Amino acid sequence: MLLTTLLRLFQRLRFEQLFHVDWLVNPTGATYRFTDHFKGFEKVEAVKQIFGEKTIEVLQNLKVKFTYIGGYMWIDARDGSLVVSTHYLNEGDKTGIYLDLVHELVHIRQFMEGKKLFPAEYDYVDRPTEIEAYQHAVHEARRLGLNDQQICEYLKTEWMSNEDLRKLAKSVDVKCT
Ligand SMILES: [Zn+2]
């Protein structure tokens, strides 16, 4: 029962950190350079659009932590680092991982601008910070040639209700049938 509850909580960690359990999230405490693990992002137009002239500098300074607890990836709002699930990285859909990285990089810029990434007054799909990040990822998905149905599949997560998915899809102008 407790395990199921915990698993469910961890599954919610796709784009956000709901709580801070460092020893569990990152037992070794090790941080890595984003550019050592994710190559060539400084050349991606969608990423250059996020950071402009600061693209190379921001990516070089960005730290990554890897976690075994599952979920997908999210920003540690205390230090602005990216946390990535190793399981997701190894087993996840490569296009989805790429789009998630684009999404998270939008959050990195928001973090640098001092925006509150997880405002409690909004539901997840209503947060302006999320909508902006999803819009950017959807734009990149379209550029890659994904159709609305495929993008809709990408937006769908196991913890999102149909109503939330509908709302999010509408906010980012994707037709989910
Ligand atoms: Zn997000």
Q: How far is the CA of 103 from the centre of ligand 1 (A)?
A: 6
Q: How far is the CA of 29 from the centre of ligand 1 (A)?
A: 23
176 in any annotated domain: no
Which amino acid, residue 137?
A
* Residue 11 CB contacts under 8 Å (≥ 6 apart), including other chains: 70, 71, 157, 158, 159
Q: How far is the CA of 75 from the centre of ligand 1 (A)?
A: 8
Q: Does this model's pTM top 0.75?
A: yes
Which amino acid, residue 103?
H
pLDDT at 69: 84
Number of H helices, E strands in the chain: 10, 4
The residue-averaged pLDDT of 44-53 equals 98
pLDDT at 173: 97
142 in any annotated domain: yes
Encode pLDDT of 150-173 as tens digits. Answer: 999 999 998 899 999 999 999 999
Q: How many CA atoms lie within 13 A of 27 on its CB side?
A: 3
What band does 9 get if pLDDT is binned at 50, 70 and 90?
low
Name which of 64, 71, 58, 59 is nearest 17 in CA terms. 71
pLDDT at 130: 96
- Number of independent structural domains in the chain: 1
Q: How far is the CA of 28 from the centre of ligand 1 (A)?
A: 25
What band does 119 get if pLDDT is binned at 50, 70 and 90?
confident
Q: How far is the CA of 32 from the centre of ligand 1 (A)?
A: 21
25 in any annotated domain: yes
How many angstroms separate the Cα of 67 from the Cα of each of 83, 104, 168?
7, 16, 27
29 in any annotated domain: yes
pLDDT at 159: 86
177 in any annotated domain: no
Domain containing 51 equals: 2-171
CB atoms within 10 A of CB 131: 16
Name which of 114, 123, 38, 112 is nearest 73 in CA terms. 38
Residue 112 has pLDDT above 90, yes or no: yes
Question: What are the backbone angles phi and psi of residue 87, rounded to the nearest 5°?
Answer: -60, -45
Q: How far is the CA of 1 from the centre of ligand 1 (A)?
A: 28
- Which residue bears the tokens 């550019």? 35
* Residue 163 CB contacts under 8 Å (≥ 6 apart), including other chains: none
